[in-house]
């Protein structure tokens, strides 16, 4: 009987804890800023992205989220309005990010009113944290004389990344939440686009994910 009571207590504690958890899917777009992008966001180079995440509700205003996002990023001298346009370099890269973030919801409130009645709510938030990004970049050139410049010696395919996000979460139904987020990632890597020594070696690359999410709330 004692073992049964202990098991029941553990199961109850796990159930209560799970009620603060949601898991979901993300889909949207990816873009980047670096040596082969002239503008902060080159709309024509925007590509699809998708991912999955888990969010734990520490409190109504503070939550932590772990995620894995995948996206395609690209850039081209063809988008330039200056002398670079004639150089003819371009790149494509597969990008995989795994990250952990803390979210602050200034207008966050409890999901249930007194008596256990669910309350729908809208909650804007800001978030930051730390991530790990892996890229597989391929640079294309038009001038055969440039072909031996890539891949550059010492090119790194992995890096730490620091996300800066703004978003909004809609607690639409008791078991479903919807979301939208926009987030830039600062990296410690200038090889997201495969170009460093032949570009601007003093400025690291950035990338972003923007999109919507759908989650199941336990």
Structural domain boundaries in the chain: 24-217
Closest among 53, 18, 34 to 167, alpha carbons compared: 53
pTM for the model: 0.87
What's the CA dihedral at 75, 77, 78, 80 to 10 degrees?
110
Model confidence at 111, pLDDT cuts 50, 70, 90, reads: confident
The CATH classification number of 24-217 equals: 2.40.160.20
Highest mean pLDDT among 1-15, 55-69, 187-201: 55-69
Half-sphere exposure of 28 (CA within 13 A, CB side): 20
Task: Tell me the HSE value of 2 on the side-chain side, using a 13 A CA sphere.
Answer: 0
Paired tokens of 38 = 């002239």
**How many CB atoms are located within 10 Å of the residue 188 CB?**
12
Q: What is the mean pLDDT of residues 165-181?
A: 95
Write out pLDDT tens, residues 28-46. 999 999 999 988 889 999 9
Please give the average per-residue pLDDT across 63-81, as a whole number: 95
- DSSP symbol at 118: B
pLDDT tens-place string over residues 142-171? 999 999 999 999 899 999 999 999 999 999
């Amino acid at each position: 009987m004692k073992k049964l009571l202990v098991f029941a207590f553990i199961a109850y504690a796990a159930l209560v804890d799970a009620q603060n958890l949601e898991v979901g899917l993300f889909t949207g777009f990816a873009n980047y800023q670096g040596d082969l992008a002239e503008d902060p966001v080159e709309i024509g180079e925007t590509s699809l992205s998708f991912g999955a995440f888990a969010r734990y509700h520490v409190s109504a205003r503070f939550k932590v989220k772990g995620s894995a996002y995948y996206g395609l990023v690209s850039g081209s001298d063809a988008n330039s309005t200056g002398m670079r346009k004639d150089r003819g370099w371009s790149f494509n890269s597969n990008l995989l990010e795994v990250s952990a973030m803390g979210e602050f919801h200034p207008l966050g409130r409890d999901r249930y009113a007194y008596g256990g009645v669910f309350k729908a709510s809208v909650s804007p938030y800001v978030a930051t944290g730390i991530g790990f990004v892996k890229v597989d970049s391929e640079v294309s050139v038009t001038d055969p004389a440039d072909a031996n410049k890539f891949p550059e010696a010492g090119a790194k395919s992995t890096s730490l990344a620091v996300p800066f996000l703004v978003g909004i979460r809609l607690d639409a139904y008791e078991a479903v939440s919807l979301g939208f987020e926009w987030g830039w990632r600062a990296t410690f890597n200038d090889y997201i686009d495969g170009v460093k020594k032949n570009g601007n070696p003093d400025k690291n690359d950035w990338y972003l994910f923007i999109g919507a999410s759908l989650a199941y709330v336990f």
